[in-house]
Structure 1
Amino acid sequence: MMIIDKPGKSKQELLNSLEKLKTDFAKEISEYDVKLSPITDGYNLKGSKKIVFIEFSVDVNIQAEEGKYVINYTSKNVPQGQIDKAMVKVKEVLDKC
C-alpha cells in the first residue's frame, strides 16, 4: 500500500483530479491495453500481458480519501523493480494533482 498525502484537499477534489488523469493518460492506457474501471471513491487499473506461457499482470486500486490518495496493488510475475519504477511515476503524477 502507498499513501500520497494531499493536505487541505477534499475527497471530492481528489476524485475530480483522478477523473482528469483518465483523460490525460488515455494514450498510454490504450497503448498498454490497460483496463480502467471506476470503483467506490476512485479507479481500478488492470493490465496484463502473456508471453509464451507466462502471464504478467498488475491490478491497482487508486482511491481518494480526505486529504490523501490510497494505492493498493497486486501483481503476478512482474519484477518488483518494474513495479517500483511505475509507482514512482504514479506518485509524481498524483503529487502534481
Structure 2
Amino acid sequence: SSAQDAQLQPLQAHTVSLENYTAVVYYTVLDNGDFQIVATVGPNAGFDGAMSQHMTTMKPGQSYNWTLDTGIAGQPATAMTFTADFNKLIIASN
C-alpha cells in the first residue's frame, strides 16, 4: 500500500488529482452485496477537456484497474486500482 491509497466507506467521495483533470470516486453497495463504483472526471480550470463518468460493478474481493488517458501527447496515462474489500473500497494510484 502506498501513500496514495484511500479507503472509502459507501457514499464517501474521494478526489483524485490527475494532471489536467480531477476525478471524484464513490461507491454504493447493491442489494446483492456487489459494489457499484462511480468515477466522474472533469477538466481542471483553464484546461479544455471533456467531462466523463465511468461505472463498474465488482464483487467483494475483486479488483479493477482503471486507466485514464491524460490527453497530452507523450504524457503517460494515469492508472488507479479499485479493490472491493468486504466493508470498504480501496483506491490505489499507480
Q: TM-score range by the shorter chain?
A: 0.3 to 0.5
TM-score (norm 2): 0.38
TM-score (norm 1): 0.37
Name the structure with the higher helix share. 1
Name the structure with the higher strand share. 2
